[in-house]
Structure 1
Amino acid sequence: MLKIFILLMITTNFIFGGNLKVGDKLNNFSLTDQFDGIHTITNNIETIIITFQKETLMMVNDFLSSKSSLFLKEHRAIFINNISSTPTIITKMFILPKLRDYKYGILLIYDENNTKFAKQADKITTYSLENGIVKDIKFLSSANELGNLLK
């Protein structure tokens, strides 16, 4: 409980900001992963991958499960899954145990008021960054498109 409180205090500015746009500077922010570890995202990240639905989560998992457990780190990428629309009981009983089986870290957004990242139905959102500045935003429809982005 204390971890969640600290996390909420750290990310207040992040949570209540508008969507990131091309040219915006990404301020450092923190999110918890599927193991309740807190991770601070800094300017060294080059790619942010975000999913908002189970189907897009599965697309990313299909892609990442065939890669090394260090793939995201080697590509200076992070993977974020927005689970804010899922009831807490379902999240704790079913989603988190399943996510803990994955060999890579998944940062989680629990707050439905978090509008920092743009989304489109049935799409994987990606942000390409350079020195913390958003250079490109893409909405991908498949794991193949994600693979092409992360070459």
Structure 2
Amino acid sequence: MLLLGCVPLLAHAVEVGERLAPWTLLDQFDRAYSLDGQTRTLLVARSMDGAKLVNAALQDRPAGYLEARHTVFVADIQRMPAVIAKMFAVPAMRDYGYRIMLDRDGRVAPRYAGAVDKVLWLQLDDGRLVAQREYGTAAELRAALEQAQP
């Protein structure tokens, strides 16, 4: 019975070579973003620990740093209490120098399998997954982002 409950989660995992299903999320400013063929890298943080890694890796980076690298950051905040998100977390995110696509309902992040406490890096080519990595430290993630050509 427990195994059957996990089947829907496994069915959503994307494999190398597959095209990612389109989605649209709002960022911390309530501006919509839709995944498109121009995105080269998708960063997915499925927990607060993962989001903190991304924040530390982007410390002191100029505005537009991710966009210049055709990189999109998705934060899964579905487990965060709505009142906390609305009153504290999302307003604090507005001070960051980068966009965060907020997966408030868990519609997007669960599609991409990865460790909850790490940052998932999905390398894309015209919407197709070509490589997948995980980063457990801000230094590793920062080095990978530096190698991504603007």
TM-score tier by shorter-chain length is 0.7 to 0.9
Map of 1:146 onto structure 2: 141
* Partner SS state of residue 147, structure 1: helix
CA distance in 2: counterparts of 1:39 and 1:113, whole angstroms: 14
CA distance in 2: counterparts of 1:122 and 1:28, whole angstroms: 25
Q: For residue 121 of structure 1, report the CA deviation from its aligned partner.
A: 3.0
CA distance in 1: counterparts of 2:121 and 2:65, whole angstroms: 16
Q: For residue 101 of structure 1, report the CA deviation from its aligned partner.
A: 1.0
Closer, same or farther: CA 23–52 of 1 in aligned 2, 3 Å:
same
CA distance in 2: counterparts of 1:72 and 1:99, whole angstroms: 15
* Partner SS state of residue 50, structure 2: helix
1:104 aligns with 2:98: yes
Map of 1:3 onto structure 2: none
TM-score under structure 2 length normalisation: 0.83
RMSD: 1.5
1:28–1:43 contact (8 Å) kept in structure 2: no
Correspondence for 1:76 among 65, 70, 85: 70
1:27–1:42 contact (8 Å) kept in structure 2: no
TM-score under structure 1 length normalisation: 0.83
1:49–1:78 contact (8 Å) kept in structure 2: yes
Mapping for residues 32-71 of structure 1, pairs under 5 Å: 32-71=26-65
Map of 1:136 onto structure 2: 131
Give the number of aligned pairs.
Answer: 135
Q: What amino acid maps onto 1:31 in structure 2?
A: L
CA distance in 2: counterparts of 1:121 and 1:34, whole angstroms: 21
CA distance in 2: counterparts of 1:89 and 1:119, whole angstroms: 27
* Partner SS state of residue 122, structure 2: strand
- Which blocks of at least 5 consecutive residues in structure 2 are unaligned? 1-10
Correspondence for 2:12 among 8, 18, 27: 18
- Which blocks of at least 5 consecutive residues in structure 1 are unaligned? 1-16
